[in-house]
Amino acid sequence: MVKISPSILSADFSKLGEEIKNVDKAGADFIHIDVMDGNFVPNISIGLPVIKSIRNKTDKVFDVHLMIENPSRYIDEFVEAGADIITIHYEAEKHIDRAIDYIKSKGVKAGVSLNPGTPSIVLKDIIEKLDLVLIMSVNPGFGGQKFIPYSINKIKEVKEMSLNVNKDLLIEVDGGVDKNNSKAIVEAGANVLVAGSAIFGDGKLKENIEAIRG
């Protein structure tokens, strides 16, 4: 079954702990946490103290997406804060293979994310050791953007690439995911869907999660 990873970037930060408890009860599989540094992407978002403060609000997997420069410098801190999956951007890390190995050595799962303009072929030599590939279907840094259609082909390419070397790979898609396109995204090969405003937008958490899951 496809997993749903609600992005708390779209939650009400004035009651974040309550929002996380509610989305957990509503059927979330993971909790997607976007970390932005104002450098790799234009915005600044959730940092280590916030992640630590919400770790005790749910037992669900903390799916931590680092949209930051030189992410390998901070792996220890994010592990200590409670991350279960740490995803770094291919474009942000000079020594991607070493960074993946280091994340896995800390006992958490390792993911690599690709921006829309980065071709899937860059994963060819590392896909075998990855736990997750995150395909950005919008340009990272802002919520509420529209899904980029050519992302479907990239999902298919990553799925095909993984078939013989990493059949258990999580293929996650983040950006503009909603109930209208989730079926096509899953049919292309994705098995984890990130959604923010499409889940938190109207307070109907359970209904929205079920609609996206299909």
- Is residue 24 annotated as involved in ligand binding? no
Query: Catalytic pick from 34, 37, 131, 178?
Result: 34
Query: Catalytic pick from 37, 63, 131, 174?
Result: 174
- Is residue 202 annotated as involved in ligand binding? no
- Is residue 137 annotated as involved in ligand binding? no
No. of H helices and E strands in the chain? 8, 8
Per the CB < 8 A criterion, the answer to whether 48 and 77 are in contact is yes
Question: In this predicted model, what pLDDT tens digit does every residue of 55-101 receive, in sequence order?
Answer: 999 999 999 999 999 999 999 999 999 999 999 999 999 999 999 99
**Residue 131 structure tokens:** 């736990």
For the chain, the domain total comes to 1
174 included as an active-site residue: yes
Residue 176, class by beta-carbon neighbours within 10 Å (0-12 exposed, 13-18 middle, 19+ buried)? buried
* Residue found by looking up tokens 């298919």 in the block: 156
- What pLDDT does residue 145 have? 81
Question: In this predicted model, what pLDDT tens digit does every residue of 25-35 receive, in sequence order?
Answer: 999 999 999 99
d(CA 182, CA 185): 5
* Residue found by looking up tokens 């938190």 in the block: 200
- Is residue 7 annotated as involved in ligand binding? yes
- Is residue 144 annotated as involved in ligand binding? yes
d(CA 172, CA 155): 9
34 included as an active-site residue: yes
pTM of structure: 0.96
Find the CATH number of the domain harbouring 82. 3.20.20.70
- Is residue 17 annotated as involved in ligand binding? no
Per the CB < 8 A criterion, the answer to whether 92 and 70 are in contact is yes
Question: In this predicted model, what pLDDT tens digit does every residue of 127-185 receive, in sequence order?
Answer: 999 999 999 999 987 777 899 999 999 999 999 999 999 999 999 999 999 999 999 99
Which of 43, 37, 25 lies closest to 88, judged by CA?
Answer: 37
Domain residues for the domain of 139 are: 3-213
Tell me: pLDDT of 42 over 80. Answer: yes
- What pLDDT does residue 55 have? 97
Q: Tell me how far apart the terminal alpha carbons of the chain are, to the nearest angstrom.
A: 10
Residue 115, class by beta-carbon neighbours within 10 Å (0-12 exposed, 13-18 middle, 19+ buried)? middle
